[in-house]
Amino acid sequence: MQKPQLLVPVTATSNGTLVHPAYFLLVGIPGLGPTIHFWLAFPLCFMYALATLGNLTIVLIIRVERRLREPMYLFLTMLSTVDLVLSSITMPKMASLFLMGIQEIEFNICLAQMFLIHALSAMESAVLLAMAFDRFVAICHPLHHASVLTGYTVAKIGLAALTRGFLFFFPLPFILKRLPYCRTHTVTHSFCLHQDIMKLSCTDTRVNVVYGLFIILSVMGVDSLFIGFSYILILRAVLELSPRRAALKAFNTCISHLCAVLVFYVPLIGLSVVHRLGSPTSLLHVVMANTYLLLPPVVNPLVYGAKTKEIRSRVLRMFSQGGK
Q: What is the per-residue pLDDT across 288-311, written as a single tens digit (0 to 9) for each?
A: 778 888 889 999 988 888 777 777
pLDDT exceeding 90 applies to what percent of the chain? 31
Strand, helix or coil for residue 12? strand
- Residue-wise pLDDT for 131-166, tens only, equals 999 999 988 888 888 889 998 999 999 999 999 999
What pLDDT score does 206 carry? Answer: 85
Whether residue 262 is predicted with pLDDT greater than 50 in this model: the reply is yes
Strand, helix or coil for residue 150? coil
What pLDDT score does 41 carry? Answer: 85
Average pLDDT, the chain: 83
What pLDDT score does 65 carry? Answer: 82
- Listed by start position, the domains of the chain span 23-306
Whether residue 43 is predicted with pLDDT greater than 70 in this model: the reply is yes
Four-residue CA torsion sign, 311, 312, 313, 319: positive
What pLDDT score does 281 carry? Answer: 53
CATH architecture of 23-306: Up-down Bundle (1.20)
Phi first, then psi: what are they for 26, rounded to 5°?
-85, 150
Residue burial 145-166, b: 16+ Cβ < 10 Å; e: rest: beeebeeeebeebbeebbebbe
What pLDDT score does 310 carry? Answer: 76
pLDDT confidence tier of residue 198, bands split at 50, 70 and 90:
confident
Whether residue 6 is predicted with pLDDT greater than 50 in this model: the reply is no
* Mean pLDDT along residues 274-291: 67
Strands of 113-215 (E only): list them: 186-187
What pLDDT score does 3 carry? Answer: 43
What pLDDT score does 324 carry? Answer: 53
What pLDDT score does 76 carry? Answer: 93
- Residue-wise pLDDT for 7-35, tens only, equals 444 444 444 555 677 888 888 777 777 78
pTM: 0.88
Whether residue 72 is predicted with pLDDT greater than 70 in this model: the reply is yes
CA atoms within 13 A on the CB side of 174: 6
